[in-house]
Structure formats: structure tokens, C-alpha cells
């Protein structure tokens, strides 16, 4: 990770870690970097946080001051920015969002002209500019000053693209959508309504302060209750910028990213659409998923945590499907990043094509109990390298043997260490997670 940019952009508490001058400088650098030999075009999207408007203004000011044009998609999803950037000849895209974090955090994600997260070397140069290690950049003068362009049409074209991918009518299906009071509220319902679904929507009234608050993919119990109370066929929950999707089946059971990878992976293999019969996962995926993959004849590769690493593996090997337990799912034929709404449409394709319920489709997977705790620390590197912590981790590895595992890692987006244990019972998970967490504290 860099000085400011983590695995998912530059993220932190607004006006504490991520400040408005940072946004202005990022805009200044990108406008200059892509405009050295031409008039650069940069597209910007944002989620529903109150601060997103402030950062949008600052980024656009920096971009235009450097002579590039800033195109505003307004409130939209991260995958829509990715789609617009790669299909409409933009030099890069910017998404203002802190994803599943609370409203008082925000983030700036930079997307390359190919629609995926920007290269690390460009992020490093931006960090040098922020820190004053690069001399001041030239300002555009007179007619060379850039324009700010309203570009809501780009978001509408993305909606049309999603609708074009739907191969079955959803008529008669009762579908619940939890929009997390975030970006999905501008897109999701119109997509599902367009193909006949009876759509029930919750958490679609953002006020700038309620994004992800008791809502969305990180608070899935809200959708579980809603699905059961309304006898829905299926429910889908998104996070703040809608690049994640977690589903709920008709019984109210949670269908996380691992189960979605199984349902879609098995279906694509049976249809001859899964390159090399391979699914890319991260080290966080459950042991039970791999046992089910083995039984279904699916192969798998593991990457570090972060959908950017999943996508890199997919691109380098021409794989079709990959994702994370947290709900970032990538279908490389259709997208270059995790896309929550696209994921829900792909799950619906399997349901409709196989004429089975979602519960029937995932029940073959026996998930091992898993417990994850986040431990806030002053220095992540120092905490992880402490000899007593290392000794405790080694002790747990030995005790679990082949019947479980422990994973202790730094968060790429927060000042926390994540401690995860999988074992044959919740009691065993809790025992070993607490054992390591206490030492980290």
C-alpha cells in the first residue's frame, strides 16, 4: 500500500484523513497527467454521502484548472463509472465513495481508461504531488481552461447496458432490493422493473448521513427479515457504491459471495461458459466452498484480499469468474470490476434457467463456521510482527490442523487487524479469535 492509497483508493474520515485539498490536488495531477499531449476527458461519479458533493467540486476544479474536461455522472455506482470510462473514450474515471464505510468516511477511487483500478505507479506519482515531491504543475490559461459537463446520459447508457444482458423475463418474481441508502437507489429498481419483476425496495431514501446505516450488504439481517415478512422469492443487498452484492434466498438464508461464486460457477461450467472451469477466489473464501468446488469439478485459484487482485488474476489467465466472500463478484465477459447489480442479474439468470429456487441451488455447499473480528490498533505492522502475536498464531495453526484455519491480516482500508478463524464449531472459532485478538489489543 502507498502513503495515501490503499487497496481500494484513498479512503478515510472526511477532513481528518481525506481532506478537500487532497481532492483538488488529485484532480490537478490527473488533468495534467492525461492532458500532456491532448485535451483530456475525465468522468466523475459519486455516492450519496454529504461530503461527496464537496469532493466532486474539488476534483472538478483541479481537473479543469489543469486544462482537462470533467464529466459529471452525479450519484451513480462504481461499476457504472468503470463502464462509462472504458466504453466512452475517457482517459480515466473517478468514483467518490467509501463503499461500505459509515457516512463520515469517504474515498477517491481512480479508474483507468480500461475500466479497472488505476496502476500503482500512477497512484505513487499522485502521492508524490500531494506531498510536494513534484514541482508545481502548470495551470491552464484562457481558452485552455477545462469545462465541467453534466453527463447523466452516461449513467442512463449503463442502465440500458444492464437491461440488454437480461435473457429471461422476471415476470411473476417477487424480488427485494436493499439499496443501502447509497448509489444503487438511482439504478437497481428501474433495471428489475424493466423486465417485469415485482420489486420491493428498502433503504432507497438517502439523506447524506444514512448511507449503510442499518442497511445494505453489511447489515444483511434487515433484508433477511424483509424477505421473510413479504414472502419474497429472493432478495439482493448492495453496499454504498453498489460494487458488492449479498443475496438472501426465499427461506431468509444469507447467500454470500462464496455461495454466489458456487451457484454461478457451477452454472457457467455446465453451460460451457467458464474458461478452464476455473473460479478465482481470495484467501478469505470458506473451506466449505472449496470442498463443494471439488465435488462439482470446479478448479480454483486464490489471491490476496481485494477485488483488484482477483481481477488481475482473471485478466492474466483469461478466467471468466472470480470474487470475494464479501460480495465483490466479477464476470469478466461483462465488466472489469465488481458489480452488485450485474451480480444479482446473473444469479437471476441461474434461477430462471434452472427453474430452481436459490436455496435449492446453493444447499449442496456446507459452509464451515467462520468468525471474523476487527481489532483497532495504533500501528498495524508493529502489532502483526509482535513476537507474542506470532507465537499465538502459530499455536492456533497447530491446534486446528486440517480441520480449520486462522488468517490474520492488515485491513487495506482501515487502521485495523482482521482476525478470522474457520473451524468445525462456532465455539472453537470464538476461542481462537479471542485468543489472538486480546494479544493484538
Q: Which three cell numbers stand for residue 350?
A: 441461474
What gap in Å lies between CA 192 and CA 324, rounded to an integer?
24
DSSP 7: B
Kind of pairing, strands 299-303 and 370-376? Answer: unpaired
Q: In what order do the strands lie in the sheet with 148-150?
A: 5-6, 9-13, 105-112, 92-96, 41-46, 69-75, 148-150
What gap in Å lies between CA 333 and CA 315, rounded to an integer?
11
Annotated binding site for Mg(2+): 99, 239, 241, 243
Q: How many residues are given for the chain?
A: 441
Which of these is catalytic: 99, 180, 217, 326?
A: 99
CB of 311 closer than 8 Å to CB of 330: yes
Kind of pairing, strands 416-422 and 405-410? Answer: antiparallel
What gap in Å lies between CA 309 and CA 314, rounded to an integer?
9
CB of 167 closer than 8 Å to CB of 195: no
Annotated binding site: 99, 239, 241, 243
Q: Which three cell numbers stand for residue 19?
A: 481532506
- Our answer to whether residue 61 is catalytic in this structure is no
DSSP string, 199-252: EEEES----SS-TTTT-STTSTHHHHHHHHHTT-SEEEEE-TTS--EEEE-TTS
Please name every residue paired with 111 in a beta bridge, in sequence order, or none if there are none: 93, 117
Kind of pairing, strands 254-255 and 245-248? Answer: antiparallel
Place of cell 427479515: 225
In sequence order, which residues have a C-beta less than 8 Å from that of residue 385 and are 6 or more positions away?
Answer: none
Backbone torsions φ then ψ of 418, nearest 5 degrees: -100, 125
Please name every residue paired with 109 in a beta bridge, in sequence order, or none if there are none: 95
Catalytically active residues, by annotation: 99
Amino acid at each position: 500500500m502507498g502513503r495515501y492509497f490503499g487497496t481500494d483508493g484513498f479512503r478515510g474520515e472526511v477532513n481528518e484523513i481525506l481532506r478537500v485539498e487532497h481532492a483538488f490536488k488529485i484532480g490537478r495531477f490527473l488533468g495534467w497527467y492525461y492532458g500532456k499531449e491532448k485535451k483530456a476527458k475525465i468522468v466523475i461519479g459519486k455516492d450519496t454521502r454529504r461530503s461527496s458533493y464537496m469532493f466532486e467540486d474539488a476534483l472538478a476544479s483541479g481537473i479543469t484548472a489543469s486544462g482537462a474536461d470533467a464529466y459529471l455522472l452525479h450519484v451513480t455506482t462504481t461499476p457504472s463509472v468503470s463502464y462509462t470510462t472504458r466504453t466512452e473514450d475517457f482517459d480515466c474515471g473517478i468514483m467518490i465513495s467509501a463503499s461500505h464505510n459509515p457516512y463520515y468516511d469517504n474515498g477517491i477511487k481512480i479508474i483507468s481508461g480500461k475500466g479497472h483500478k488505476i496502476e500503482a505507479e500512477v497512484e505513487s506519482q499522485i502521492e508524490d504531488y500531494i506531498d510536494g515531491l513534484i514541482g508545481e504543475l502548470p495551470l491552464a490559461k484562457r481558452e485552455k481552461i477545462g469545462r465541467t459537463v453534466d453527463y447523466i446520459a452516461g449513467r442512463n447508457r449503463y442502465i440500458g447496458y444492464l437491461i440488454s444482458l437480461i435473457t429471461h423475463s422476471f415476470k411473476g418474481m417477487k424480488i427485494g432490493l436493499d439499496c443501502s441508502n447509497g448509489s444503487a437507489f438511482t439504478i437497481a429498481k428501474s433495471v428489475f422493473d424493466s423486465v417485469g419483476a415485482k420489486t420491493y425496495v428498502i433503504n432507497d431514501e438517502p439523506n447524506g448521513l444514512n448511507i449503510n446505516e442499518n442497511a445494505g450488504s453489511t447489515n444483511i439481517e434487515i433484508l433477511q427479515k424483509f424477505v421473510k415478512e413479504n414472502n419474497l422469492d429472493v432478495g439482493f443487498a448492495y453496499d454504498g457504491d453498489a460494487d458488492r452484492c449479498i443475496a438472501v434466498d426465499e427461506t431468509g438464508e444469507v447467500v454470500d459471495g462464496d455461495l454466489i461464486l458456487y451457484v454461478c460457477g457451477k452454472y457457467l461450467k455446465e453451460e460451457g461458459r467458464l474458461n478452464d472451469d476455473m473460479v478465482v477466489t481470495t484467501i478469505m473464501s470458506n473451506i466449505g466452498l472449496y470442498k463443494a468446488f471439488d465435488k462439482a469439478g470446479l478448479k480454483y485459484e486464490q489471491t490476496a484480499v481485494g477485488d483488484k487482485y482477483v481481477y488481475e488474476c482473471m485478466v492474466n489467465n483469461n478466467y471468466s469468474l472470480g470474487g470475494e466472500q464479501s460480495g465483490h463478484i466479477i464476470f469478466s465477459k461483462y465488466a472489469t470490476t465488481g458489480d452488485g447489480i450485474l451480480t444479482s442479474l446473473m444469479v437471476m439468470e441461474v434461477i430462471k434457467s434452472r427453474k430452481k429456487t436459490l436455496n435449492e441451488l446453493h444447499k449442496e455447499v456446507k459452509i464451515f463456521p467462520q468468525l471474523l473480528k476487527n481489532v483497532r490498533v495504533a500501528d498495524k505492522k508493529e502489532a502483526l510482527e509482535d513476537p507474542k502475536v506470532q507465537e499465538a498464531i502459530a499455536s492456533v495453526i497447530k491446534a486446528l490442523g486440517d480441520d480449520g484455519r486462522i488468517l490474520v491480516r492488515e485491513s487495506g482500508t482501515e487502521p485495523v487487524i482482521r482476525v478470522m478463524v474457520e473451524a468445525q464449531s462456532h465455539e472453537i472459532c470464538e476461542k481462537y479469535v479471542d485468543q489472538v485478538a486480546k494479544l493484538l489489543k
